[in-house]
Amino acid sequence: MHASHLTEQRFPEVVTFGESMALLIAEGGKGLEYANTLTPSFGGAESNVAIGLARLGHTSGWCGRLGDDPFGHRVIKAIRGEGVDVSRAQLTAEAPTGLMIRENVAGKSSVYYYRKLSAASRMRPEHLDEAYIAGAKILHVTGITPALSDSCAETAAAAMDLAKRHGVKVSFDPNLRLKLWDLEAARKVLLPLAMKADYFLPGLDELKLLYETESLEEILSRLNELPGVSVIKGGKDETYLFEHGKLTPVPYYKVDHVIDTVGAGDGFCAGFLSGLLRGYALEEAVRLGNLIGSQVIQAVGDWEGLPSAAEIDRLLSGVGHVER
């Protein structure tokens, strides 16, 4: 074997980056004001997607900046423990790891962010590893990262441009978070990023806000101006695939018990990207996204309910769970 083969680096199939935060969850169905116990975990849209892909048998990499503090070490170990490559993630002493705290009262989940001036908010384009992005098949970006700071918005755009330059497909979930920025600011940044995407993965409610219209016809006419394929999550009973002016509804998988809807969109993205990597037709990739999303909402947590490849194969082949 030639030496060059030995030194040749193997890069993950999907690369994503953004802010992963320490997460504290109020227990006992009490609001934060009265809860006595907070359970630690972590969360972040991009790392959720990377974990979902790793569980489905793909190679994925998550890049980002975390504080060189106990929370940062906890988060990076947990993501690595899920089989995601974190070789390009960085721990920095210049700022702390972001934190989110969640309460779930009477079935209604509320999130409180403590992420202003976090380590991730200081990401800059020069922190990106061009070879790492160039070696991927897909770059996955969300609209949460650009909401963190101007330098994060520049970094997201730069990452997409790097991917395009190297023929890497770009997947973009706008993930509109109005607790992080106002709608006008979000529009100015997210709509141009959508123009750079091969796969644009918005929710229907997000599109109504971004395009300032309730009309599906008007929304589709705007989506038709984008160069890529759009997948609209959050229809009443289906996800919509919109490709070259053609709208295809793909029905949801019905579940008996919805426990926690947090992370469903990230689960969908992981399933959809997995379908693309498996060589599925777009409609089948959307179907797989719907299936993964339906599994996530049956468990508590951002990423804990993401299924393995074996579980999905069992569901697809209709084999039930053998308890003993």
The residues that are catalytic are 266
Under 8 Å between Cβ of 173 and 201: yes
Type of residue numbered 47: S
Please state, in angstroms and as integers, the Cα–Cα distance from residue 242 to each residue in 4, 140, 194, following that order. Answer: 43, 19, 14
Rounded Cα–Cα distance for residues 58 and 49 (Å): 11
Please state, in angstroms and as integers, the Cα–Cα distance from residue 2 to each residue in 5, 131, 135, 275, 283, following that order. Answer: 5, 22, 21, 34, 42
Under 8 Å between Cβ of 277 and 58: yes
Rounded Cα–Cα distance for residues 276 and 258 (Å): 27
Under 8 Å between Cβ of 71 and 99: yes
- DSSP-derived secondary structure for 41-72: EEE-HHHHHHHHHHHTT--EEEE-EEESSHHH
Rounded Cα–Cα distance for residues 85 and 68 (Å): 18
Rounded Cα–Cα distance for residues 130 and 189 (Å): 22
All residues at 6 or more sequence positions from 260 whose CB lies less than 8 Å from its CB, including other chains: 104, 109, 297, 299, 300, 301, 305
Rounded Cα–Cα distance for residues 157 and 133 (Å): 13
- Bridge-partner residues for 161, per DSSP? none
All residues at 6 or more sequence positions from 78 whose CB lies less than 8 Å from its CB, including other chains: 42
